[in-house]
Structure 1
């Protein structure tokens, strides 16, 4: 997908399996307060719903790749699905001793500023994953 890429990464003191379960089974706990619904199988839908900055939303996407506990790739779009409005979200988990290195990126950002803003949000998301996985 075109556009600028937002990247974030974090070290988590938990196994890749525990981090994977946090991203999938506990998705609603680590996604900015959104309710997240999916069965996390390739071809399945993903729906994020809730409130962001005082406004209700329902975002949608599709699971493109799910290789537990190493790689999860999703599409994501907000509002009406228009050409060029879709993002691809990629999680890569790598075991590091007893812990996990989690890399994340989102493509399809229209500007460098949008990518920078997304990076800040995704860092918060990864911090929430870390906190939940380490609990």
Structure 2
């Protein structure tokens, strides 16, 4: 069975630098990403972790920074402790964020691969829209 990928986009009335900061700054991420603690030094080969508590359960999701062009693009591998899969390479997905600005508006494009079926794909897309919709609200209020 082949895995699926998704791409979803969110537009911001904010400059690219603010949107980039919103996806990489732990203090901002914590505000809109369900209180998640993000840790990474944003260098290729470095770890990235997302930890916290969800529905009363502690979690630590993790991966590795695979590619980065600061301010524009980052791609990382990702495994979720809540996903019900073993922590082994074939269970990691790749997630990327691309930030592009045009005429004072910025588009954040999120891609995710390794999705097992259409229902999971729809759920993931809704989650990305909800999570980064929270960032949009924060950035556009300021």
- The alignment's C-alpha RMSD in Å is 1.5
Instruction: Please tell me whether the aligned partners of residues 91 and 103 of structure 1 are also in contact (alpha carbons under 8 angstroms).
Output: yes
TM-score, normalized by length of structure 1? 0.90
For 1:121, the equivalent position in structure 2 comes to: 127
Give the helix-richer structure, 1 or 2: 2
Name the counterpart of 1:23: 23
Q: 1:125 to 1:45 in 2, by over 3 A?
A: same
With the length of structure 2 as denominator, give the TM-score of the two structures.
Answer: 0.86
Contact 1:87–1:107 (CA under 8 A) maintained in structure 2: yes
- The structure with higher relative contact order (CA 8 Å, sep 6+) is 1
How many residues are matched?
134
Shift in CA distance, 84/65, structure 1 to aligned 2, threshold 3 Å: same
* 1:78-126: CA deviation from partner (whole Å, max 9, x where unpaired): 2341242111111111112112011111111111111111111111121
Q: 1:28 to 1:40 in 2, by over 3 A?
A: farther
Q: Deviations over 1:53-95 (max 9, x none)?
A: 3321111111111212111111110234124211111111111
Unaligned runs of 5+ residues in structure 2 are none
Equivalent residues in 2 for 1:57-72, closer than 5 Å: 57-72=59-74
**Residue in structure 1 matched with residue 9 of structure 2 by the alignment:** 9
Structure 1 unmatched ranges of 5 or more = none
Name the CA distance, whole Å, in 1 between partners of 2:45 and 2:31.
23
